[in-house]
């Protein structure tokens, strides 16, 4: 059996990094001897997260353009992009992969562009219902494009598309922890309904402000809340809670390392509408209120959320309305068992399991290394 060498590129956010690592793990399961090298953007999250997952990564000095495009600073950005393309070509020539995988993000445009110019087959994985710029630009030369939503023909050549779903963090599916055990780890009461609030890997200001605006309702609700604030906001929130008084039924954490336990503990989740998070809710069948971030390209989180809302598989609150509406809606929804069951049943129907393994099999086919 010939040696298998794979490049995986992309990142910038957890939503790109989790799928990339999941695909790498699935390739390793099928071919434990596989040599896998990641290519990321210097200074971005992947430069820490990928080595933590046990993989080598090379960094490129690539970054995003400033708006508007005629800003003088973009001259430096353009020069860094050209330098990154040269570096990516050099990395590929030295590593000699049979296939390159792109998951979106700045680095993938340089690395997969270099792979195309060197005649290396490429596979793209698009997490969102609205395709990202890097993947749209790379699609014409890609061999295969793995997507998580139907209707992606408006972005990509139809004959290259494969509906696989998004790879998710494996530990969420593998956890054996019960709801009672999960609640105990957060020091919570198994007889009370629980709401989990998460704003993504960096936290979310809007979700945080929604909580701080409704501390009295939370205190008097008879429910309990687990709140991941994000490290960036934690000091400021601790100060505010000291002044206003922290309700006894509110657990405040800057970061939750065991998301499997947090999801298991929750009767209802409040979350941003990133593609990876949505895929996780589908697979674990969790009732959710989505608050799409307005600060993302092409407002793709709103499109992700509406894809579920139209199938009565999630509730949705606009970012601009969340401070007033989010907590009252959560309190009303979490005590309505019939509503929770409908949301849970409908979101489960949208699940696409085994995504990482299916994508890994496609990678092996492209590398002629099954």
175, exposed or middle or buried, with CB in 10 Å at 0-12, 13-18, 19+?
Answer: middle
Distances (CA, A) of 175 to 53, 169, 261, 262: 18, 11, 8, 11
Signed CA dihedral, 9, 56, 278, 207: sign only: negative
Q: CB-based contacts of 264: which residues, under 8 Å, 6+ apart? A: 175, 177, 178, 179, 181, 182
More reliable by pLDDT, 204 or 60: 60
The pLDDT score that the predictor gives to residue 345 is 97
Express as a percent the part of the chain with pLDDT over 70: 98
The pLDDT score that the predictor gives to residue 58 is 97
Res 325 pLDDT > 90:
yes
Region 3-16: mean pLDDT is 89
The pLDDT score that the predictor gives to residue 282 is 94
Q: How confident is the model at residue 203 (pLDDT cuts 50, 70, 90)?
A: low
Three-state SS across the chain? CCCCEEEEECCCCHHHHHHHHHHHHHHHHHCCCCEEEEEEECCCCHHHHHHHCCCEEEEECCCCCCCCCCCCCHHHHHHHHHHHHHHHHHHHHHHCCCEEEECCCHHHHHHHHHHHHCCCCEEEEECCCCCCHHHHHHHHHCCEEEECCCCHHHCCCHHHEEECCCCCCHHHHHCCCCHHHHHHHCCCCCCCCEEEEECCCCCCHHHHHHHHHCHHHHHHCCCEEEEECCHHHHHHHHHHHHHHCCCCCEEEECCCCCHHHHHHHCCEEEECCCHHHHHHHHHHCCCEEECCCCCCHHHHHHHHHHHHHCCCCCEECCHHHHHHHHHHHHHHHHCCHHHHHHHHHHHHHCCCCCHHHHHHHHHHHHCCCC
The pLDDT score that the predictor gives to residue 79 is 95
- Of the ranges 68-77, 91-100, 193-202, the best mean pLDDT one: 91-100
Backbone torsion region of residue 104, taken as left when φ is above 0, otherwise alpha when ψ lies between -120 and 50, otherwise beta: left
The pLDDT score that the predictor gives to residue 13 is 78
Backbone phi, psi, residue 122, to 5°: -125, 145
> What order do you get walking across the sheet with 5-9 strand by strand?
56-60, 35-41, 5-9, 99-102, 122-126, 144-147, 161-163
More reliable by pLDDT, 15 or 129: 129
How far apart, in whole angstroms, are the C-alpha atoms of residue 87 and residue 69?
A: 24
The pLDDT score that the predictor gives to residue 107 is 94
Contact in structure between 183 and 190 (CB atoms under 8 Å):
yes
Region 19-44: mean pLDDT is 96
Res 204 pLDDT > 90:
no
Res 177 pLDDT > 80:
yes
Beta pairing, strands 268-271 & 122-126 = unpaired
The pLDDT score that the predictor gives to residue 298 is 75
Q: How confident is the model at residue 202 (pLDDT cuts 50, 70, 90)?
A: low
The pLDDT score that the predictor gives to residue 1 is 75
Mean pLDDT of the chain: 93
Backbone phi, psi, residue 335, to 5°: -90, -5
Among 8-22, 103-117, 129-143, 321-335, the least confident range: 8-22
The pLDDT score that the predictor gives to residue 369 is 58
Rounded to 5°, angle at Cα 147 from 141 and 151 = 100
Backbone torsion region of residue 299, taken as left when φ is above 0, otherwise alpha when ψ lies between -120 and 50, otherwise beta: left
Region 178-198: mean pLDDT is 96
pLDDT of 289-313, one tens digit each? 999 998 877 788 999 999 999 999 9
The pLDDT score that the predictor gives to residue 299 is 84
Res 228 pLDDT > 70:
yes
Express as a percent the part of the chain with pLDDT over 90: 77
Region 242-263: mean pLDDT is 93
The pLDDT score that the predictor gives to residue 59 is 96
Res 42 pLDDT > 90:
yes
Cα pseudo-dihedral 219, 225, 228, 232, rounded to 10: 0
How far apart, in whole angstroms, are the C-alpha atoms of residue 44 and residue 67?
A: 19
Contact in structure between 217 and 329 (CB atoms under 8 Å):
no
pTM (two decimals): 0.83
Res 370 pLDDT > 70:
no
pLDDT of 125-150, one tens digit each? 999 888 988 999 999 999 999 999 88
């Amino acid at each position: 059996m010939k040696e298998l060498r794979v490049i995986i590129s992309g990142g910038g956010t957890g939503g790109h990094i989790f799928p990339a690592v999941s695909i790498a793990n699935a390739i390793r399961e099928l071919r434990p001897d596989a040599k896998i090298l990641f290519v990321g953007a210097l200074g971005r999250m992947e430069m820490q997260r990928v080595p933590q997952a046990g993989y080598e990564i090379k960094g490129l000095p690539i970054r995003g353009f400033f708006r508007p495009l005629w800003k003088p600073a973009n001259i430096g950005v353009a020069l860094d992009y050209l330098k990154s393309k040269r570096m990516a070509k050099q990395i590929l020539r030295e590593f000699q992969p049979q296939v390159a995988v792109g998951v979106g993000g700045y680095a993938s445009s340089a690395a997969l562009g270099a792979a195309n110019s060197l005649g290396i087959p490429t596979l793209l994985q698009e997490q969102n219902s609205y395709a990202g710029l890097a993947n749209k630009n790379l699609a014409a030369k890609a061999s295969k494009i793995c997507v998580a939503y139907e209707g992606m023909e408006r972005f990509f050549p139809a004959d290259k598309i494969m509906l696989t779903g998004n790879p998710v963090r494996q530990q969420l599916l593998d956890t054996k922890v019960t709801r009672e055990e999960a609640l105990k780890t957060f020091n919570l009461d198994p007889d009370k309904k629980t709401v989990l609030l998460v704003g993504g890997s960096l936290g979310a200001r809007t979700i945080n402000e929604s909580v701080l605006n409704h501390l009295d309702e939370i205190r008097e609700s008879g429910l309990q809340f687990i709140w991941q604030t994000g490290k960036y906001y934690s000091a400021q929130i601790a100060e505010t809670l000291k002044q206003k008084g922290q309700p006894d039924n509110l657990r405040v954490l800057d970061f939750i390392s065991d998301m499997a336990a947090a999801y298991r503990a929750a009767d209802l989740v409040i979350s941003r509408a990133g593609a990876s998070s949505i895929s996780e809710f589908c697979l674990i069948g969790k009732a959710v209120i989505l608050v799409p971030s307005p600060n993302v390209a092409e407002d793709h989180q709103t499109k992700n959320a509406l894809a579920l809302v139209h199938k009565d598989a999630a509730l949705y609150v606009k970012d601009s309305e969340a401070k007033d509406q989010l907590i009252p809606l959560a309190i009303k929804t979490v005590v309505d068992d019939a509503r929770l069951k409908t949301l849970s049943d409908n979101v489960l129907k949208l699940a696409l399991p085994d995504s990482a393994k299916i994508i890994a099999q496609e990678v092996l086919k492209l590398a002629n290394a099954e």
